[in-house]
Amino acid sequence: MNKEYTKILAFAHAHRGEDPLRLLLQQKRHPDIDLKLVAQQLEGLRQAAIKWPTLAECTDFVYPPRLNREQSSSEAAARYKAGLFAALGGGTLADLTGGMGVDAYFMSMHATHADYYEMDSDLCHLAEHNYAALGADNIQCHCADSMSIVERLEPRDLIFIDPARRDRQGKKVAAFEECTPNLLGYLGLLRTKCRHLMVKASPMVDIHLGVKQLESVQDVYVVAVEGECKEVLFVVRGAGQGPRHAEPTIHCTNIDRQRVPEEYSYIWSEEEETLPSFALEVGQYLYEPNASLMKGGCYNSIGCWFGLKKLARNTHLYTSNEYLKDFPGRVFRVLRPLTLTAKEVGHHIPEGKAHVVVRNYPSTAAELQKRLRLKEGGSLYVIAATLGRQPQGWLCEAV
């Protein structure tokens, strides 16, 4: 191990649990220690306990700067991608935008050989050290702009690419042509170099446009972790891998705290042909699909899958008089209809605390909360939505 890393890690683990900012003020007491790097490790260790529990167990792992950690996949999402790679047959892997290296590490568990490419030399050297610390001896690190060597790249079973989603001003972007690198200019060449190309995109990406731009998409995976949409994955067939699919399959996946994926799949033509049943009134329960289903856009199919009625065409809430304990999302028990005035709400919520949920309603949640003189908190929910053509409200509790 690098001697400097040894000293830093020993110091960081000895001060684990301390406030990194307070420690930074003690540089004069520790002139031979890079306390900025120590603080970086303390922040990384704290974050790893939740985001990358496997890495947290490796005492020799060195954490990169905050931006790289924030841009990295969680362990749950990386393991999910590794499972997709295994389902595609595994084999040889090239990660062309290595970053912190989490995705490459977990996918390498199903690879005969993996290549990690990163143009930031510091990040690349750090990944090389960390892979050795993790015992991932089938990963080879390359400090290079991967797009400059694509023509020379040996064919792989899977090429993985996660373009940076920030512009020169540091603002977040979602469209492929705004990301770095702009893979659309290399798409044809990339497809000749692999059996499958997996593209990780922003949760804000336009899925329909992405499928059109990437041309030979066979599957789209909308990945949520514990109810929050984290990424969208496009799996593209490599050149020479048979005829392109007429339309891709959309997989909406939510990964729970036990890292168990719950997945629902559909194709666009089925969704367009599905006629939802609309509610004339709200039953005893309201259902809100999880983030992956909402992003995936299977609004009509959800009701049919679970025998629920939709509140309105553009109101993506569903209702029934039966409680479905396995519904993939939030379930609310309706306590009563609610006239959305401060006086009425104050009568039923005298403590003045509730969560406000707005769906297809003429006010935002913040505006409605202010108008109703409510503070965030408590166990009750005020749900405002359009039923048919009429904006209405309900007092609910989470099941």
What are the residue ranges spanned by the domains of the chain? 3-63, 70-266, 274-398
> Does residue 164 register a pLDDT over 60?
yes
pLDDT at 291 (0 to 100): 95
Percent of the chain with pLDDT over 70: 99
| Domain 70-266, architecture per CATH | 3-Layer(aba) Sandwich (3.40)
Determine the Cα–Cα distance for residues 231 and 251; give it in Å rounded to an integer. 12
Reported pTM: 0.91
* Whole-number pLDDT of residue 239: 84
394 pLDDT more than 80:
yes
> What pLDDT is stored for residue 45 in this prediction?
93
Q: How many CB atoms lie within 10 A of CB 160?
A: 25
The three-state DSSP-derived secondary structure of the chain is CCHHHHHHHHHHHHCCCCCHHHHHCCHHHCCCCCHHHHHHHHHHHHHHHHHCHHHHCCCCCCCCCHHHHHHCCCHHHHHHHHHHHHHCCCEEEEECCCCCCHHHHHHHHHEEEEEEEECCHHHHHHHHHHHHHHCCCCEEEEECCHHHCHHHCCCEEEEEECCECECCCCCECCCHHHCECCHHHHHHHHHCCEEEEEEEECCCCCHHHHHHHHCCEEEEEEEEECCEEEEEEEEEECCCCCCCCCCCEEEEEEECCCCCEEEEEEEHHHHHHCCCCECCCCCCEEEEECHHHHHHCCHHHHHHHHCCEEEECCEEEEEECCCCCCCCEEEEEEEEECCCCHHHHHHHCCCCECEEEEECCCCCHHHHHHHCCCECCCCEEEEEEEECCEEEEEEEEEC
Give the per-residue pLDDT at 189. Answer: 95
Q: What percent of the chain has pLDDT over 90?
A: 81
Please tell me the distance from the alpha carbon of residue 95 to that of residue 90, in angstroms, as a whole number.
14
pLDDT of 74 reads 95
Residue 2 has pLDDT above 70, yes or no: no
Lowest mean pLDDT among 39-43, 138-142, 161-165, 254-258: 254-258
pLDDT of residue 1: 55
